[in-house]
Structure 1
Amino acid sequence: MDAGDIGARRWLILTVGVLAQAAQATVVNGVAFLIPSLHTEAGLSLAQAGTLAGAPLFGGVFTLVVWGAISDRFGERLALAAGLGLASAATAAAALTTSIPALGILLVLAGAGAVSANAASGRVVVGWFAPAQRGLAMGIRQMSVPLGVAAGALVIPQLATNHGIAWALAFPALACGTAALACVLGILDPPRPDRAEAKSTGMLGSPYRNSWTLARIHAASILLVVPQYVVWTYSLVWLITDRGWDETGAGLLITVAQVLAALGRVAAGSWSDRVGSRLWPLRIVAVSVVVSMAALAVSSLFDSPVAIVILLVASVLTSAPNGLAFTAVAEIAGPYWGGRALGIQNTGQFVAAAAVGPAFGALIAAVGFPIAFAIAAMAPAAAAPVVPQVPVDPKK
């Protein structure tokens, strides 16, 4: 079966990919919503709680390229099912432990498995969708992360407050287990040229060898992930500790912010299809992130009620670059390097994201939220000129 024969089934495969990526987000990003409970109930400092929240990201750093290589060699279905199954088992074990060091180790292991969705589900989208639809399809796929974060924001703080940290961790364990089963039943590996044909056309060769384009996209994405994870990791804490919101209201607002962010990723992907480039919109979005984070810093400094609206805007804009960059990387890398290239892409992002938790936790404790938001704006300012100027034509 090829991309022309699969018809409407590609949308079902995309739906399963969205579920897989959303489940991954409940582990990799959702643990951040335990920070208030870890801080107030477990007695951890904000920096220590932020470090635990970054543990799944840290685990993913070591396995992203491995899962990409597995999907390149053995197929996306196997990588997705195995990784999410591992994440479910590790998170369930984390829910049962009473040891903080063991909790950290199990969260690292959970993240190491969950990130299989990052490389493999992206290759599924590029493999089954025509070039003129890839931006939209990848935007839909990428909306799964904010949706997973939104689900985590809605459920995890409530479970942690009312029933404890163990019950809160049961939610991502269940989500990953369900997604693993769905991948076994619903994912179909996309077609690609056989290895002999690919070798004769140079498709097996490294796309990094003669061009800096992929490396520049990776570098820009690393910088752009900093404000995204500052907002994702500490907006709930900011609302509760700095703005005086209760956990229910704060969780609902974060849920709304993440739903809007998900829709923003779809809009950005569709925009890239219309203009025939992933990189030109990526540069514009990077500049808009600078403006939104600077505005959030100023409005927070003056305790303005407009800060809440700006937080919603910043949530959308800081999330928007991911789908654009992912689509560009997958298109440039091709069917035999796409998994590894997406793994490399995510590895850099995860290293930066894992550092955001402890680094900005300590920074916020030292200088407060407004200054921390302003410092976060410096990263996208540096990213904008790094985005390659050579457009990627998705019709080629």
Structure 2
Amino acid sequence: MRTPNRWAMLSLGMAAQGSGCVFMYGLPFLLPALQAERGLSLAQAGILVGAPSAGMLFTLIAWGWVADRYGERLAMTTGLALATVFLTLAALSGTPAVLAVMLALAGAAGASANAASGRVVLGWFPKERRGVAMGWRQTAQPLGVAVAGAVIPPSVHLWGVRGALLVMAAITLVTTVSVGLLVVDPPRGDKAAGERTASPYRAPALWRIHGASMLLVVPQFVTAGFALTYLVSARHWEVASAAQLVAAAQFGGAAGRLLCGRWSDRVGSRVRPMRRLALVNGTVMALLATAAQVGAAAATPLLIAALIISMSGNGLAFTAVSELAGSSWAGRAMGVQNTAQNLVSAATPGAVGALITGTGFATAFGLAGALALAAALATPGQAESAPEIPAPRATAGR
């Protein structure tokens, strides 16, 4: 049997995760239509928008177990097929309560791609190329949001909320068929000598990576969530210009993930670049807090720099987690990683919004910088976080 092309497998994994991101993170584009068509308040529409993310939190680890036990293709195909069904039922629902339940179930099902697509990267790419590959995989979210931004508004204009939800269902259906027909599970073979089979959570290194990643979520969401507000309210930018600048920074963050992946491949370590990037992140955030406090013009470029830096290291943590967990535990460990980060990301906007209201932007930026520095301290050293998963035994196509 001819070995599949590893980049094709990566592309399919990205497509699987990206299609989930279209409806999980693209629903905010439906907010005005939900209010106008369904007569919902902004708070009620907001609950609907957050329903897929809430559902995802309950199933990430379970889908990781399915991928570990039964394979990546089965996990992704099953999850995306169920998401297609639930999105279709959401489009046909007549009440907000039913719509919320269906969207939550779609998010719970679509979470399968998060852990399983990471295992595809882990299995088909050798260690020396895994950083770049995982960096590409981590760009699936911004690309999925970009697709949602291009597709959902015209769909709403033409067919309303129901039509837009059916378009999302069609996207997941096409991805389901592609994954089911084309994805090949990486070879697992016999356990190599020294490869981890027992729980990796008996040692502190994996817990420390999870903890550091949770701390790093805060500066990422402080900058991504409040950059537009800061530029408009504090720097007096026009909304359109500020939005364009923040959107351009998203592409910078995606490029940063690729560069950080390449950096980790070259130095043969995930945690060393992760720690150094956290130190840079904390330093830039501290400079931003100082500039915001005194109203300096340098605050704007520092804000964009902080936004890009805070997004750039995300793939490093996922690669470190998957390698440290080993092939028997990688899916579950990435499920834990996703769950922990999503819990913090859900709590951060409200808490930081209250902090900014009470004390101003400078305090929030300073707190985010302090947490980034704490993340650098929490990141384990190279010796205790040495990967326990060998390079794939089969040579994938180029």
Return the TM-score normalized by structure 2. 0.82
> CA offset at residue 157 of structure 1?
6.4
- 1:144 is displaced (CA, Å) by 1.7
Aligned residue among 213, 219, 235 for 1:221: 213
Residue deviations 1:120-141, cap 9 Å, x none? 0111111011111111111111
55, 80, 84: which one pairs with 1:88? 84
Q: Number of matched residues?
A: 385
Q: Determine if the alignment matches structure 1 residue 44 to structure 2 residue 42.
A: yes
Matched, 1:257 2:232: no
Is residue 54–residue 355 contact of structure 1 (8 Å, CA) maintained in 2? no
Give the aligned residue type for 1:340.
R
Q: 1:184 to 1:315 in 2, by over 3 A?
A: farther
* Whole-angstrom distance in 1 between the partners of 2:142 and 2:326: 27
- Partner residue of 1:14? 10
Aligned with residue 145 of structure 1, among 115, 126, 141: 141
Q: Trace 1:17-32 onto structure 2 (pairs within 5 A).
A: 17-32=13-28
Counterpart CA distance in 1 for 2:249 and 2:178 is 27
Larger radius of gyration: 2
1:204 corresponding residue in structure 2: 197
Q: 1:55 and 1:378, CA in 2 relative to 1: closer, same or farther beyond 3 A? A: farther
Paired with 1:34 and 1:360, the residues of 2 have a C-alpha distance of 25
Tell me if the contact between 1:154 and 1:255 (Cα under 8 Å) persists in the aligned partners.
Answer: no
CA contact (8 A) 2:119 2:331 kept: yes
Q: Alpha-carbon deviations, 1:263-302, whole Å to 9, x = none? A: 1111101100111100010011112222344455555566
Could you report, residue by residue, the CA deviation over 1:9-68 in whole angstroms, capped at 9, with x for unpaired residues? 1110111111122222233333455668889995425xx776655433322111011100
Distance 1:167 1:379, change over 3 A: farther
Matched residue of 1:190: which SS? coil
RMSD over aligned Cα atoms:
3.5
Cα distance change, pair 96–146 in 1 and its aligned pair in 2 (3 A): same
Q: Is the 8 A contact 2:225 2:349 kept in 1?
A: yes
SS at match of 2:197: coil
Whole-angstrom CA distance in 2 between matches of 1:143 and 1:328: 17
Please give the TM-score of this superposition, normalised by the length of structure 1: 0.82
In the alignment, is the contact (CA less than 8 A) between 2:222 and 2:368 conserved in 1? yes
Q: Determine if the alignment matches structure 1 residue 272 to structure 2 residue 264.
A: yes
* 8 Å contact from structure 2 (residues 228, 239) kept in 1: no
Asked if 1:135 corresponds to 2:131, the answer is yes
Q: CA contact under 8 A between 2:324 and 2:386: conserved in structure 1?
A: no
Give 1:156-235 correspondences, 5 Å limit.
169=165, 172-194=168-190, 203-209=196-202, 211-235=203-227
In structure 1, stretches of 5+ residues that fail to align are none
Q: Deviations along 1:328-385, whole A, 9 cap, x unmatched?
A: 1111111111111111111111211222344345545555555444433343232111
Which residue of 296, 319, 322 maps to 1:327? 319
Correspondence for 2:347 among 346, 355, 360: 355
Separation (CA, whole Å) in 2 of partners of 1:74 and 1:349 = 25
Q: How many angstroms apart in 2 are the aligned matches of 1:246 and 1:167?
A: 29
- Choose from 68, 74, 87 the match for 1:72: 68
Letter in 2 for 1:207: P
The 2-side partners of 1:170 and 1:276 are apart by 45
Inter-CA distance 228–181: structure 2 relative to 1 (3 Å threshold) = farther
Amino acid at match of 1:229: F
Is the CA contact 2:195–2:326 (under 8 Å) kept in the aligned structure 1?
A: no
Letter of the aligned partner of 2:341 in structure 1?
Answer: Q
List runs of 5+ in structure 2 lacking aligned partners. Answer: 391-398
What letter corresponds to residue 320 of structure 1 in structure 2?
A: S
1:269-348 alignment to 2 at 5 Å? 269-297=261-289, 307-348=299-340
Say whether the 8 Å CA contact 1:50–1:361 is kept in structure 2: no
- Identify if the C-alpha distance between structure 1 residues 288 and 156 changes in structure 2 by more than 3 Å, giving closer, same or farther: farther
